[in-house]
Structure 1
C-alpha cells in the first residue's frame, strides 16, 4: 500500500532529516509511529502524502508516485494534521465545500461520529476549542472512507473520555482494505489499538515490528530484583518495570511506553532480540 524507497530529505543543505530511509506499510494494519518531539515524525508523514518532496528516493501509495499529487490518489488519502486551521464557517458549509473531493464520503456516518464526540452542532468551526476542532476533523476524516488514513498527534487536545471514544471509533472503521498510520509521542494513547509499532529516533527507524512479534520476543513484567535476562528496567513504586528476553514465550501485556523508552535508551539490546529471531 505505502512503499518508501531510499528516502533522502532535508529542509536545508548539510542537515539531512532522513538518509536512505526504507519502509513498507501494508493494508489491514494500524501502525503506531512513535517518537520524541523533533524525531521527524511529522516530516515523514508530510513526505508520505506529498506535502513536501524528497531530495531523492521514491514514495508510492497504491502504486502511484505521491509527488504527482494525482486526484485519483488524493481522493484515497485522508490526512489529519497536528496543526489545525479551520475556517470560520458552519459545519454544513464545510461539508458542502470539502466532502465532494471524496467520492465515498458517508454523511450519515459523519453525523453519527459528530454526535458521539459531542461536538456542538450550531457553532462555527472557527469558534470551536482546539479539542472540538480535533474531534471534528477526526469525524470528517474517517467519514471520507479513504483507503489511507494518516493522523499526526490525533489525541492532542482530547480529554480522557474523548481519547477512549477515539480508540473505539478507530478500531471499528479498520478493515482489510485500509491502512492507518498514527503518529504520536503520547504513547499510552495507542494502547490496545495499534497492531504494529514503528519507532523513529534521531531521524531513523530503530524499530518496526508487529505487536505479535514484540510479544513473542519480549516479556514485560514487574520484579523486585533484577536478573541477568533483563534488557531494560525502570524503577517503579515498590518494584521495577522491566523488559526481559522471552525464551519461554510467556504471555505478557506490552507496555508501549516502557518499550519506547527501552528502544531509545538501550536500542541494541532490544532490537537484537528481533535479529536473533530472524536467524532462528
Structure 2
C-alpha cells in the first residue's frame, strides 16, 4: 500500500523534519500516528497525500508517486486535515458535488452517517459549528470509500457522544483492502480502534508495531509500587501506571499514553527491541 524508502524532507530555513525515513504501511489496518508537537505528523500525511514533495528518497502509494497527483491516485485517497476551508454550499450539496470524483462514493451511505452524527445536511457548511463541520466532513470522507483514508486529528472538536460514533463508523468502514491512518493527540479517544501504532520522533520513526507485537514485549499495569525494571511510571488513581518488560509472557492491555511516554523516555531501548 505505502512504501517509503530513505525519504527526507525539510522546510526552508528549518532543520530536517525527516531524515532517511524508511517504513511500510499495509492495507487492512487502522494506523494510529502519534508524536510530540512539531514532530511532523501532519507533514507525514501531506507527503503521502502528494501535497508536499520529498527532498530525497522515495514515497510510493498504491504504486503511484503522490506528488504527481495523477487522477487515478486522487480517486483512491481522501485526506481530511485538522482544519479545512468550507464553502457556502449546503453540506448535502457539497457532498453531491465532490462525491462523483470518487468511483466508490455512495450518497446513501453519506446520508446515513450524517444521520448517525445528528448533522442537518440542509444547513450551509460555513454556518455550522466546528464540531458539526467536522462530523459532516468525516461523513463525506467515509462515504467516498477510498482505499487510503488520512485523518488528521479527527476527534478534535467532537463531543463525547460523537467520539463514540466516530469509533463505531470508522471500525465499520475498515476492511482488508483499505488503509486508514489517524493522526492524533487524543489517544484515549482511539485506544480500542488503532492497531498498529506508529510513533514518530524528530527525523524518523520510533515505533511501527501491532498491538500484539507490543504486548509480547511489554506489560502494562497499575501497581502499588514501581518495579526496579520499569521503563516508565507515573502516579495515577490506585497507585502507579507502569510499563515493564514482559518477561513471563503474560498478556496485558496496551495503555497507549503509557506506551508513548515510555517510548519517548527510552528511545534507544525501543529502537533495539522493535527494529
TM range (shorter): over 0.9
Q: Does 1:151 align with 2:151?
A: yes
Residues 186, 222 of structure 1: CA spacing in aligned structure 2 closer, same or farther, 3 A cutoff? same
Please say if residues 196 and 208 of structure 1, whose CA atoms lie closer than 8 Å, have aligned partners that are also in contact.
yes
Residues 20, 271 of structure 1: CA spacing in aligned structure 2 closer, same or farther, 3 A cutoff? closer
What secondary structure does 1:200 align onto?
A: strand
CA RMSD of aligned residues (A): 1.3
Q: Which residue of 1 aligns with 2:117?
A: 117
Moved more, 229-238 or 61-70: 229-238
Equivalence map 1:95-114=2 (5 Å): 95-114=95-114
Q: Does 1:22 align with 2:47?
A: no
CA distance in 1 between partners of 2:181 and 2:238 (Å): 36
Runs of 5+ in structure 1 lacking a partner? Answer: 276-280
Give the aligned length.
Answer: 275
Residues 100, 177 of structure 1: CA spacing in aligned structure 2 closer, same or farther, 3 A cutoff? same
With normalisation by structure 1, the TM-score equals: 0.95
Q: Which residue of 1 aligns with 2:68?
A: 68
CA distance in 2 between partners of 1:161 and 1:2 (Å): 33
Q: Which residue of 1 aligns with 2:208?
A: 208
Q: Does 1:188 align with 2:177?
A: no
Q: Which residue of 1 aligns with 2:58?
A: 58
CA distance in 2 between partners of 1:220 and 1:92 (Å): 45
Residues 20, 270 of structure 1: CA spacing in aligned structure 2 closer, same or farther, 3 A cutoff? closer
Q: Does 1:245 align with 2:274?
A: no
Q: Which residue of 1 aligns with 2:231?
A: 231
Q: Which residue of 2 aligns with 1:166?
A: 166
With normalisation by structure 2, the TM-score equals: 0.96
Note the C-alpha offset of 1:13.
Answer: 4.0
Note the C-alpha offset of 1:268.
Answer: 2.6
What secondary structure does 1:243 align onto?
A: strand
What secondary structure does 1:8 align onto?
A: strand
Please say if residues 231 and 270 of structure 1, whose CA atoms lie closer than 8 Å, have aligned partners that are also in contact.
no
Deviation readout 1:74-133 (Å, 9 max, x if unpaired) = 100011111121101112321232111001101111011000000123310110010011
Note the C-alpha offset of 1:14.
Answer: 5.6
CA distance in 2 between partners of 1:242 and 1:227 (Å): 8
